[in-house]
Amino acid sequence: MKTDYKQPLGAIITHFQLTKATESEISEIKHLLANHGVLVFRKQQCTDEDFILFLKKMGPLTFTVGEVSVEHHPNLNVVTNVGRKEPPKSRFHTDSSYFTKPPAYTALRAVTLPKNGGDTLFTNQYWAYETLPAAVKDRLANRTFKHVVSGLDLSDYEEAEKAADHPAFLKHPVSGKTALYMSTPLRCVSVSGLEEEEGKKLISLCYEHSIQEANIYRHQWQAGDVVIWDNGCTLHKADHSQVEGDRTFHRGMSLGYNA
Protein backbone atom coordinates (compact mmCIF):
# COMPACT_ATOMS: atom_id res chain seq x y z
CA MET A 1 0.00 0.00 0.00
CA LYS A 2 1.64 3.22 -1.19
CA THR A 3 0.22 6.39 0.37
CA ASP A 4 0.47 9.97 -0.91
CA TYR A 5 -0.86 12.42 1.70
CA LYS A 6 -2.70 15.57 0.64
CA GLN A 7 -3.43 18.96 2.23
CA PRO A 8 -5.60 20.04 3.94
CA LEU A 9 -6.83 16.44 4.17
CA GLY A 10 -6.90 13.15 2.33
CA ALA A 11 -4.52 10.55 0.94
CA ILE A 12 -4.17 8.70 -2.37
CA ILE A 13 -3.53 4.96 -2.12
CA THR A 14 -1.85 3.06 -4.96
CA HIS A 15 -0.55 -0.49 -5.44
CA PHE A 16 -3.39 -1.93 -3.39
CA GLN A 17 -6.63 -3.76 -4.22
CA LEU A 18 -9.56 -3.36 -1.82
CA THR A 19 -10.87 -6.78 -2.82
CA LYS A 20 -7.83 -8.35 -1.13
CA ALA A 21 -7.87 -6.27 2.08
CA THR A 22 -6.97 -8.31 5.15
CA GLU A 23 -8.25 -7.69 8.69
CA SER A 24 -5.07 -5.84 9.62
CA GLU A 25 -5.27 -3.72 6.45
CA ILE A 26 -8.89 -2.84 7.22
CA SER A 27 -7.74 -1.65 10.65
CA GLU A 28 -5.04 0.46 8.97
CA ILE A 29 -7.62 1.93 6.57
CA LYS A 30 -9.87 2.91 9.50
CA HIS A 31 -7.00 4.68 11.25
CA LEU A 32 -5.97 6.45 8.05
CA LEU A 33 -9.55 7.65 7.59
CA ALA A 34 -9.80 8.81 11.19
CA ASN A 35 -6.67 10.92 10.80
CA HIS A 36 -6.84 12.03 7.15
CA GLY A 37 -10.58 12.03 6.43
CA VAL A 38 -10.57 10.81 2.81
CA LEU A 39 -8.84 7.92 1.03
CA VAL A 40 -8.65 7.59 -2.76
CA PHE A 41 -7.93 4.07 -4.01
CA ARG A 42 -6.65 4.16 -7.58
CA LYS A 43 -7.03 1.53 -10.33
CA GLN A 44 -9.50 -0.71 -8.53
CA GLN A 45 -10.80 -3.82 -10.26
CA CYS A 46 -14.00 -3.74 -8.28
CA THR A 47 -17.52 -5.04 -9.00
CA ASP A 48 -20.57 -4.09 -6.94
CA GLU A 49 -20.22 -7.42 -5.16
CA ASP A 50 -16.59 -6.64 -4.29
CA PHE A 51 -17.59 -3.15 -3.18
CA ILE A 52 -20.22 -4.51 -0.79
CA LEU A 53 -17.82 -7.09 0.68
CA PHE A 54 -15.27 -4.36 1.38
CA LEU A 55 -17.85 -2.10 3.03
CA LYS A 56 -19.05 -4.98 5.21
CA LYS A 57 -15.47 -5.39 6.44
CA MET A 58 -15.61 -1.75 7.55
CA GLY A 59 -18.76 -2.42 9.58
CA PRO A 60 -22.51 -3.10 9.21
CA LEU A 61 -24.06 -1.56 6.12
CA THR A 62 -26.68 1.17 6.26
CA PHE A 63 -28.85 2.83 3.60
CA THR A 64 -30.58 6.18 3.21
CA VAL A 65 -34.29 5.45 2.86
CA GLY A 66 -35.77 7.32 -0.10
CA GLU A 67 -32.69 7.04 -2.32
CA VAL A 68 -32.70 4.97 -5.54
CA SER A 69 -30.97 1.64 -5.01
CA VAL A 70 -28.71 -0.16 -7.48
CA GLU A 71 -30.53 -2.94 -9.31
CA HIS A 72 -29.99 -6.27 -7.50
CA HIS A 73 -28.00 -4.50 -4.78
CA PRO A 74 -30.41 -2.86 -2.30
CA ASN A 75 -27.56 -1.83 0.03
CA LEU A 76 -26.10 0.48 -2.65
CA ASN A 77 -27.64 3.57 -4.19
CA VAL A 78 -27.16 5.30 -7.52
CA VAL A 79 -25.67 8.79 -7.72
CA THR A 80 -26.13 10.10 -11.25
CA ASN A 81 -26.99 13.03 -13.48
CA VAL A 82 -28.41 10.78 -16.20
CA GLY A 83 -31.98 11.65 -17.16
CA ARG A 84 -31.97 14.98 -15.35
CA LYS A 85 -32.91 18.22 -17.08
CA GLU A 86 -31.08 20.30 -14.48
CA PRO A 87 -27.80 19.47 -12.70
CA PRO A 88 -28.27 17.88 -9.27
CA LYS A 89 -27.98 20.32 -6.37
CA SER A 90 -25.18 19.64 -3.93
CA ARG A 91 -24.08 21.54 -0.83
CA PHE A 92 -21.38 20.63 1.64
CA HIS A 93 -22.90 18.13 4.05
CA THR A 94 -22.27 14.96 6.01
CA ASP A 95 -24.29 11.90 5.04
CA SER A 96 -27.52 10.98 6.83
CA SER A 97 -26.64 12.93 9.96
CA TYR A 98 -30.35 12.92 10.86
CA PHE A 99 -29.92 9.24 11.78
CA THR A 100 -29.47 8.45 15.46
CA LYS A 101 -26.53 6.34 14.29
CA PRO A 102 -25.29 7.99 11.09
CA PRO A 103 -22.88 6.22 8.75
CA ALA A 104 -19.27 6.41 9.85
CA TYR A 105 -18.05 5.76 6.31
CA THR A 106 -19.34 6.56 2.85
CA ALA A 107 -17.72 5.22 -0.32
CA LEU A 108 -18.22 5.95 -4.01
CA ARG A 109 -17.29 3.63 -6.86
CA ALA A 110 -16.84 5.35 -10.22
CA VAL A 111 -19.10 3.73 -12.85
CA THR A 112 -19.30 6.38 -15.61
CA LEU A 113 -17.18 9.53 -15.58
CA PRO A 114 -18.01 12.67 -17.59
CA LYS A 115 -15.69 14.10 -20.22
CA ASN A 116 -15.13 17.14 -18.01
CA GLY A 117 -15.92 18.23 -14.47
CA GLY A 118 -17.71 16.31 -11.78
CA ASP A 119 -15.14 16.71 -9.00
CA THR A 120 -15.99 15.88 -5.38
CA LEU A 121 -14.90 18.35 -2.70
CA PHE A 122 -14.10 17.60 0.94
CA THR A 123 -13.42 19.67 4.05
CA ASN A 124 -11.30 18.96 7.13
CA GLN A 125 -13.60 19.30 10.15
CA TYR A 126 -10.74 18.87 12.64
CA TRP A 127 -9.24 22.03 11.21
CA ALA A 128 -12.65 23.69 11.25
CA TYR A 129 -12.94 23.04 14.99
CA GLU A 130 -9.34 23.93 15.84
CA THR A 131 -9.54 27.31 14.08
CA LEU A 132 -12.97 28.40 15.32
CA PRO A 133 -12.89 31.68 17.27
CA ALA A 134 -12.61 31.06 21.01
CA ALA A 135 -15.89 32.88 21.68
CA VAL A 136 -17.75 30.53 19.32
CA LYS A 137 -16.16 27.47 20.94
CA ASP A 138 -17.23 28.74 24.36
CA ARG A 139 -20.79 29.39 23.20
CA LEU A 140 -21.18 25.95 21.61
CA ALA A 141 -19.34 23.92 24.25
CA ASN A 142 -21.44 20.93 25.39
CA ARG A 143 -24.29 21.87 23.03
CA THR A 144 -25.89 19.81 20.28
CA PHE A 145 -27.02 20.60 16.74
CA LYS A 146 -30.38 19.29 15.55
CA HIS A 147 -30.03 17.54 12.19
CA VAL A 148 -33.11 17.00 9.99
CA VAL A 149 -33.78 15.28 6.67
CA SER A 150 -33.93 17.37 3.51
CA GLY A 151 -34.28 16.68 -0.21
CA LEU A 152 -36.07 13.34 0.21
CA ASP A 153 -39.76 12.49 0.17
CA LEU A 154 -40.27 10.15 3.13
CA SER A 155 -44.08 10.34 3.17
CA ASP A 156 -44.27 6.64 2.28
CA TYR A 157 -41.76 5.66 4.99
CA GLU A 158 -43.47 6.22 8.32
CA GLU A 159 -40.74 4.42 10.27
CA ALA A 160 -37.85 6.31 8.67
CA GLU A 161 -35.76 8.54 10.92
CA LYS A 162 -36.19 12.23 10.17
CA ALA A 163 -34.25 14.06 12.92
CA ALA A 164 -31.49 13.53 15.49
CA ASP A 165 -29.36 15.59 17.86
CA HIS A 166 -25.57 15.27 17.83
CA PRO A 167 -22.75 17.10 19.65
CA ALA A 168 -21.56 20.21 17.84
CA PHE A 169 -18.03 19.22 18.81
CA LEU A 170 -17.50 15.50 18.27
CA LYS A 171 -14.60 13.60 19.79
CA HIS A 172 -13.69 11.05 17.16
CA PRO A 173 -13.77 7.54 18.65
CA VAL A 174 -10.77 6.36 16.61
CA SER A 175 -8.43 9.37 16.39
CA GLY A 176 -9.43 10.98 19.71
CA LYS A 177 -9.37 14.37 17.97
CA THR A 178 -12.28 16.83 18.06
CA ALA A 179 -14.21 17.74 14.91
CA LEU A 180 -16.87 20.33 14.19
CA TYR A 181 -19.73 17.95 13.39
CA MET A 182 -22.38 19.62 11.29
CA SER A 183 -24.07 19.67 7.91
CA THR A 184 -25.57 22.17 5.49
CA PRO A 185 -27.84 24.67 7.32
CA LEU A 186 -30.74 23.07 5.41
CA ARG A 187 -30.19 20.02 7.59
CA CYS A 188 -28.50 21.51 10.64
CA VAL A 189 -31.28 23.71 11.97
CA SER A 190 -30.95 24.55 15.66
CA VAL A 191 -28.65 24.58 18.69
CA SER A 192 -29.65 23.14 22.04
CA GLY A 193 -30.29 25.74 24.73
CA LEU A 194 -30.17 28.73 22.39
CA GLU A 195 -32.88 30.91 20.88
CA GLU A 196 -33.65 30.13 17.23
CA GLU A 197 -32.11 33.29 15.78
CA GLU A 198 -28.82 32.97 17.66
CA GLY A 199 -28.63 29.25 16.87
CA LYS A 200 -29.08 29.82 13.14
CA LYS A 201 -26.45 32.56 13.13
CA LEU A 202 -23.93 30.29 14.84
CA ILE A 203 -24.70 27.41 12.48
CA SER A 204 -24.20 29.70 9.46
CA LEU A 205 -20.95 31.05 10.91
CA CYS A 206 -19.60 27.55 11.57
CA TYR A 207 -20.63 26.37 8.10
CA GLU A 208 -19.02 29.26 6.24
CA HIS A 209 -15.91 28.82 8.38
CA SER A 210 -15.76 25.11 7.47
CA ILE A 211 -16.06 25.51 3.71
CA GLN A 212 -13.53 28.25 3.04
CA GLU A 213 -11.21 27.47 0.14
CA ALA A 214 -8.12 26.84 2.28
CA ASN A 215 -9.95 23.95 3.96
CA ILE A 216 -11.02 22.09 0.80
CA TYR A 217 -9.52 19.09 -0.99
CA ARG A 218 -10.83 18.77 -4.56
CA HIS A 219 -10.83 15.23 -5.91
CA GLN A 220 -10.60 14.86 -9.68
CA TRP A 221 -11.92 11.44 -10.58
CA GLN A 222 -10.07 8.84 -12.64
CA ALA A 223 -11.39 5.59 -14.08
CA GLY A 224 -11.09 2.83 -11.47
CA ASP A 225 -11.28 5.18 -8.46
CA VAL A 226 -12.95 4.12 -5.25
CA VAL A 227 -13.14 6.96 -2.70
CA ILE A 228 -14.09 6.46 0.94
CA TRP A 229 -14.42 9.13 3.62
CA ASP A 230 -15.05 9.43 7.33
CA ASN A 231 -18.30 11.32 7.99
CA GLY A 232 -17.19 12.09 11.53
CA CYS A 233 -14.45 14.50 10.43
CA THR A 234 -15.36 15.70 6.91
CA LEU A 235 -17.98 17.48 4.85
CA HIS A 236 -18.37 16.80 1.13
CA LYS A 237 -20.18 17.98 -1.99
CA ALA A 238 -20.21 17.28 -5.72
CA ASP A 239 -19.26 20.08 -8.11
CA HIS A 240 -21.74 19.91 -11.00
CA SER A 241 -20.88 23.33 -12.43
CA GLN A 242 -18.61 22.18 -15.28
CA VAL A 243 -19.93 18.67 -15.96
CA GLU A 244 -19.96 17.54 -19.60
CA GLY A 245 -21.39 14.07 -20.09
CA ASP A 246 -22.80 11.33 -17.90
CA ARG A 247 -21.69 11.08 -14.29
CA THR A 248 -22.67 7.90 -12.40
CA PHE A 249 -21.42 6.41 -9.15
CA HIS A 250 -22.55 3.63 -6.88
CA ARG A 251 -22.58 4.65 -3.21
CA GLY A 252 -22.36 2.47 -0.12
CA MET A 253 -22.31 3.35 3.55
CA SER A 254 -21.08 1.56 6.67
CA LEU A 255 -21.97 2.26 10.29
CA GLY A 256 -18.37 1.44 11.24
CA TYR A 257 -17.62 2.82 14.71
CA ASN A 258 -21.28 3.94 15.03
CA ALA A 259 -22.59 0.37 14.98
Mean pLDDT across the chain, nearest whole number? 96
C-alpha to C-alpha distance for 4 and 12, rounded to whole angstroms: 5
C-alpha to C-alpha distance for 156 and 16, rounded to whole angstroms: 42
- What is the tally of structural domains in the chain? 1
pTM confidence score:
0.96
Domain extent for 98: 2-258
Q: What is the pLDDT of residues 194-212, one digit of tens each?
A: 999 999 999 999 999 999 9
Q: What sign does the CA torsion over 79, 37, 55, 181 have?
A: negative
Q: What is the pLDDT of residues 77-130, one digit of tens each?
A: 999 999 888 887 899 999 999 999 999 999 999 999 999 999 999 999 999 999
Q: What is the helix (H) or strand (E) element at residue 123, kind and residue range?
A: strand 120-124
Query: Omega before 8 cis (within 30°)?
Result: yes
C-alpha to C-alpha distance for 120 and 138, rounded to whole angstroms: 32
C-alpha to C-alpha distance for 110 and 156, rounded to whole angstroms: 30
Residues 6+ apart with CB under 8 A from 71: none
Find the CATH number of the domain harbouring 224: 3.60.130.10
C-alpha to C-alpha distance for 141 and 27, rounded to whole angstroms: 31
C-alpha to C-alpha distance for 97 and 91, rounded to whole angstroms: 14
